[in-house]
Amino acid sequence: MNRIYGASLVLAFALAPLASAHAGGDPAAGQTKAVVCAACHGVDGNSINPIWPKLAGQHEAYLAKQIRAFRDGVRVDPTMAPMVATLTEEDIDDIAAYFASQKPK
Amino acid sequence: MNRIYGASLVLAFALAPLASAHAGGDPAAGQTKAVVCAACHGVDGNSINPIWPKLAGQHEAYLAKQIRAFRDGVRVDPTMAPMVATLTEEDIDDIAAYFASQKPK
């Protein structure tokens, strides 16, 4: 292995977590799928009640990770669990992409 | 019970959850206490890595609730648990107030 190839390999591994963390959902598709979220989190992800998080402008990868955590029971919340129970992987990525694309207020 | 008193009572109960949800921490004190958070969440609460949430501009009551959940083991995360283990109630309110007062980017 030459030094340049070796360095590239190290760089690739260093960047891998960032790359894989980006879910890459479709914000437009997510907007439709996120209708059910609006009651608590607001249509644009700016929730009015201070006990519910603002989702607008949050990192897409973080949002997707949390939705999966609620779905899979890793993060336990009696309100969120049923809301996300039937979401597919694509649904989750799209919803996360939609709220990440919104402007926090 | 007359009607005005009755209506006032209903209003008081309706507003109670919003009032009690506001922790009312000290953002200036929180800035000092939040130094340890900066490594992952950024000095101003705008984390760079997309798997860590932005805290800047998030609802203060939500932030406080989540820090308590990590501290009390209600929300489980191996990184967050030790970071918040020794925080007092006042520390939590102050840190939440600080990040809530920052501008999301």
Residues B41-93 have pLDDT tens digits of 999 999 999 999 999 999 999 999 999 999 999 999 999 999 999 999 999 99
| Residue B37 distance to chain A (closest CA, Å) | 17
C-alpha distance from B6 to closest chain A C-alpha (Å): 25
Can you give the three-state secondary structure of A49-95, one letter per residue? Answer: CCCCCCCCCCCHHHHHHHHHHHHCCCCCCCCHHHHHCCCCHHHHHHH
Between CA B98 and CA B105 the distance in angstroms is 15
pLDDT of B15 reads: 44
Q: Is the backbone of residue B39 left (phi > 0), alpha (psi -120 to 50) or beta?
A: alpha
Cβ of B62 within 8 Å of Cβ of A53? The answer is yes
**Which residues lie below 8 Å from residue B22, measured CB to CB, with a gap of 6+?**
A50, B60, B61
Tokens 């990440």 label which residue?
A100
Contact A26, A94 (CB under 8 A): yes
- Residues on chain B touching A54 (C-beta within 8 angstroms): 57-59, 62
Q: Which residues contact A51 (CB under 8 A, 6 or more apart)?
A: B17, B21, B59, B61, B62, B65
Q: Report whether pLDDT(A22) > 80.
A: no
Q: How confident is the model at residue B10 (pLDDT cuts 50, 70, 90)?
A: very low
Model's pTM, two decimal places? 0.78
Q: In 3D, which of A50, A44, A55 has the Cα closest to residue A96?
A: A55
3-state secondary structure of B102: coil
A61 to B54: CB separation less than 8 angstroms, yes or no: no
Task: Answer whether residue A10 shows pLDDT above 60.
Answer: no
Band (pLDDT 50/70/90 cuts) for residue A21 is: very low
Segment A51-94, tens digit of pLDDT: 999 999 999 999 999 999 999 999 999 999 999 999 999 999 99
CB contact under 8 A, A54 and B49: no
**A36: helix, strand or coil:** helix
Give the chain A residue nearest B23 (alpha carbons). A50
Q: In Å, how far from its chain's centre is CA A61?
A: 4
> Which of B17, B18, B50 shows the shortest C-beta gap to A61?
B50
What letters, b where the CB count within 10 A reaches 16 and e where it falls short, cover B53-67?
Answer: bbbbbbbbbbbbbbb
ipTM: 0.76
